[in-house]
Amino acid sequence: MSRPTLTGTRIRARRNLRGLRQADLARQVGVSPSFLNLIEHNRRKVSAPLLEALAQVLGVSADALVEDTDGRLVEGARAAALRSEADLVDLERIDEFTGRFPGWASVLAETQARVERLERVVEQLNDRMTHDPYMGEALHEIISAVTSVQSTASILSEAGEIDPVWQARFHDNILQDSTRLAEGAVALVNYLDAEKSDETGLAAPQEEVEAWLGRQGFHLTEIEQDGVDPEDMVRGQVELASDASRVLAQQWIATFADDARALPLVPFADALARTGLAPQTLAAQFGVPFDQVLRRLALLPPEAVAQAKLPPMGLVICDNSGTMIFRRAVEGFAMPRFGGGCPLWPLYQVLQRPYVPMRQVLMTAGRLGRRYLSYAYAAQATLPGYDMPVVMRATMLITAGSGAEDGVPLAIGASCRTCAQLDCAARREPSILTAGG
């Protein structure tokens, strides 16, 4: 590109930077606006005397108009200055600044460009928050609860008598809304934590399998029949997007099919209806390991669970590193998607006492604790061999009803991050529920 081509563009840029109209600049340098327009659009060459005159009016050296030097710097520095709240008197001397301190001007221009890039990211994130239906709904819930708490608390705190009936009602409303608020905040944190990993664009294979099972209500009808073909079952399933998730799903199908063969649906459902939730009795009756009963219970068809008058059952399985390798959540009992769960969970306790079934009533920590009944069991997952590393599997079944009201509960959390039990010996990191969290 020839130099005159760039010169016209630079004159136009400088004029715009100074906020001068084309006609005003033309008048000041003694040419017609149409001629200046042609120069600025690089369609006429500019003579040396005219270049000097333009440079003088624009407050730059003639070289600055000809040489491709500091236009970007001036623009960047000027943009940064205009956005600051500082006194802008020195703005008039921006050319001098960029001329004398090109290094600093470059830093300023780059910082400004970075700020603009970050602002675009913030806008995009804001847009995403606005249009993400889950996020929108969660925030709406939280704001509604905050509104109600604020308005109600304000009534209660005002001087003057309030009818005791209204007073009791308002106290009750505050309690309800603070529950909503706490649950909404925890759900949002868990969602945002999960979102961090999704930004990589890759869902973990385990999550794909759980999503696939979730769509089927954690019951695979096919496993109740003979001749299960795991490969056929995973073919074309939209949730199983990766090879890894399809392999994993096939492994679980094989396990669940084994469970179904060992504990056939009709006799098992009948036995369950008779005994109620008594995994040890069922394991003895069918002559199977305790954890097989736990898995079978959690993956029963909903009709069989309803027939036994049992609430939905959650299941979590981990290996001896503590990593959860299977999760079926139960309402109100959060299972973190990343990092370990609460070390107090019976799931981890049974790893210390393999082959000993554990029954424990749990209560989620915090003022609004909920009670759950849990059964847990750990067993070796690999065949024993001399001096071979041992791989264990621990399994925990969780249910909100049927026996959860009896006995002294153990206070547990989901993960340290969202746990209200602040003085816990097992705490790994501060909770977000504390001011400093």
Q: Count the residues of the shown chain that bind another protein, applying the rule CB under 8 A.
A: 19
Instruction: Select from 24-32, 138-146, 258-266, 417-425 the region that touches another protein (CB under 8 A).
Output: 138-146
Quote the least distance from Cβ 199 to another protein, whole Å.
Answer: 24
Of positions 139, 194, 211, 392, contacts another protein by CB under 8 A: 139
DSSP secondary structure of 221-253: GGGGSSS--HHHHHTT-TT--SHHHHHHHHHHH
Closer CB to another protein, 176 or 320, in the complex: 176
- Site map (CB under 8 A) of another protein, residues 94-133, x = contact: ------------------------------------x---
Distance CA 318, CA 347 (A): 8
Closer CB to another protein, 138 or 420, in the complex: 138
Helices (H), 199-337: 205-215, 230-234, 243-262, 265-275, 279-286, 290-298, 302-307
Cβ neighbors of 147 (< 8 A, separation 6 or more) are: none
Of positions 143, 202, 368, 390, contacts another protein by CB under 8 A: 143
Whether residue 45 contacts residue 4, with contact meaning beta carbons closer than 8 Å, is answered with yes
Quote the least distance from Cβ 216 to another protein, whole Å.
Answer: 29
Give yes or no for residue 182 binding another protein (CB under 8 A). Answer: no
Phi, psi (degrees; rounded to nearest 5) at 225:
-105, 165
Distance CA 277, CA 309 (A): 10
The residue type of 293 is V
Residue 327 has a CB neighbour count (10 Å cut-off) of 20
Q: Which residue has the tokens 């890759």?
A: 202
Residue 7 has a CB neighbour count (10 Å cut-off) of 22
Instruction: Select from 79-87, 97-105, 170-178, 325-333 the region that touches another protein (CB under 8 A).
Output: 170-178
Distance CA 191, CA 143 (A): 17
Q: Which residue has the tokens 């816990």?
A: 424
Of positions 112, 148, 364, 418, contacts another protein by CB under 8 A: 148
Query: Angle at CA 125, nearest 5°, toward 119 and 126?
Result: 85
Quote the least distance from Cβ 347 to another protein, whole Å.
Answer: 37
Closer CB to another protein, 32 or 151, in the complex: 151
Of positions 83, 93, 120, 169, contacts another protein by CB under 8 A: 169
Give yes or no for residue 382 binding another protein (CB under 8 A). Answer: no
Supply the DSSP symbol for 310: -
**Residues 367, 370, 371, 377, Cα dihedral to 10°:** -110
Give yes or no for residue 402 binding another protein (CB under 8 A). Answer: no
Instruction: Select from 148-156, 220-228, 286-294, 428-436 the region that touches another protein (CB under 8 A).
Output: 148-156
Give yes or no for residue 171 binding another protein (CB under 8 A). Answer: no
The residue type of 27 is R
Instruction: Select from 25-33, 61-69, 173-181, 220-228 the region that touches another protein (CB under 8 A).
Output: 173-181
Give yes or no for residue 147 binding another protein (CB under 8 A). Answer: yes
Of positions 9, 22, 176, 197, contacts another protein by CB under 8 A: 176
- The sheet with strand 410-412 has its strands ordered as 324-328, 313-319, 392-399, 371-380, 358-364, 410-412
Supply the DSSP symbol for 409: P
Q: Which residue has the tokens 């606005």?
A: 130
Instruction: Select from 146-154, 245-253, 293-301, 312-320 the region that touches another protein (CB under 8 A).
Output: 146-154
Closer CB to another protein, 42 or 148, in the complex: 148
Quote the least distance from Cβ 414 to another protein, whole Å.
Answer: 27
Which residues would be at the binding site for another protein (CB under 8 A)? 130, 139-140, 143-144, 146-148, 150-152, 154-155, 166, 169-170, 173, 176-177
